[in-house]
């Protein structure tokens, strides 16, 4: 099911719940009930519950967005380090240079065509990706420089291999969901309490109030969906992109 359809259904469901509960409450309310006599303390509590919940939602959105941005940074760092290795091996003999570059392109092609889908579907990197990366590491570390010029390039190449390895590990660790279950429980419970306080204010007097209550509920549903969408950086709507690999290694994945 497309995510835009899930979002639309969630917002419509939130509005429908508010409308149904309001209409049922209106039918069952005593005839002598005066909606204008809402105690001031309830209005005060409703205001502060809304403020606190808005802060919690804001922090949750900021947290998942930061996680998504960090995931994209890991991809960029890995692609840049591999590109640096590919460029810096130019000082090596043709056989060593070509083998290293071929192994890098083979690894990058696997990442963008196979491993990316595995991260989205299973939340993990592939064992083949690990083996292909180890081949790159072996290409660099096992070569013995034959001249001072090659020796000067050797240590920077090792540094780039280390940087790529760290970025790959970080990418693997950021494939899953970032929000703990207890946080989701708090967000859902907070939404129920916040919307429930709307009924404590006896929102049933005019169509305008009913529409505003429905829009308020739809907004909360949208924000919760936004958090859920950002929560898994590689598998949902607004995901980290493999573009750094594709931009630095033209032709891979074709």
The residue behind tokens 């950002």 is 230
State how far Cα 61 lies from the chain centre.
Answer: 10
pLDDT value, residue 162: 94
Q: pTM of the entire structure?
A: 0.76
Low-confidence ranges of the chain (pLDDT < 70): 1-7, 10-11, 14-15, 18-19, 21-44, 199-206, 236-238, 253-254
Are residues 18 and 214 in contact, defined by beta-carbon separation less than 8 angstroms?
yes
Cβ neighbours of residue 4 under 8 Å, at least 6 residues apart? none
pLDDT computed for residue 204 by the predictor: 56
């Amino acid at each position: 099911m497309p995510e835009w359809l899930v979002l639309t259904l969630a917002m419509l469901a939130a509005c429908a719940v508010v409308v149904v509960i309001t209409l049922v409450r209106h039918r069952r309310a005593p005839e002598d009930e005066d909606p204008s006599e809402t105690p001031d303390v309830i209005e005060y509590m409703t205001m502060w519950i809304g403020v606190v919940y808005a802060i919690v939602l804001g922090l949750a959105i900021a947290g998942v967005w930061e996680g998504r941005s960090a995931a994209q940074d890991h991809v960029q760092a890995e692609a840049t380090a591999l590109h640096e290795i590919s460029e810096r091996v130019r000082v090596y003999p043709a056989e060593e240079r070509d083998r290293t570059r071929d192994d890098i392109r083979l690894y990058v092609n696997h990442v963008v065509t196979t491993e990316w889908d595995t991260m989205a579907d299973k939340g993990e990197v592939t064992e083949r990706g690990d083996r292909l990366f180890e081949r790159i590491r072996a290409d660099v570390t096992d070569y013995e420089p034959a001249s001072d010029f090659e020796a000067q390039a050797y240590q920077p190449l090792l540094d780039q291999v280390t940087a790529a390895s760290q970025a790959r590990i970080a990418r693997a660790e950021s494939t899953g969901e970032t929000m703990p279950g207890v946080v989701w429980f708090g967000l859902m419970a907070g939404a129920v309490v916040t919307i429930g306080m709307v009924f404590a204010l006896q929102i049933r007097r005019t169509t305008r109030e009913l529409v505003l209550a429905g829009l308020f509920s739809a907004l909360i549903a949208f924000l919760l969906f936004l958090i859920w969408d950002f929560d898994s950086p590689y598998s949902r709507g607004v995901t980290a992109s493999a573009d750094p690999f594709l931009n630095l290694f033209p032709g891979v994945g074709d």
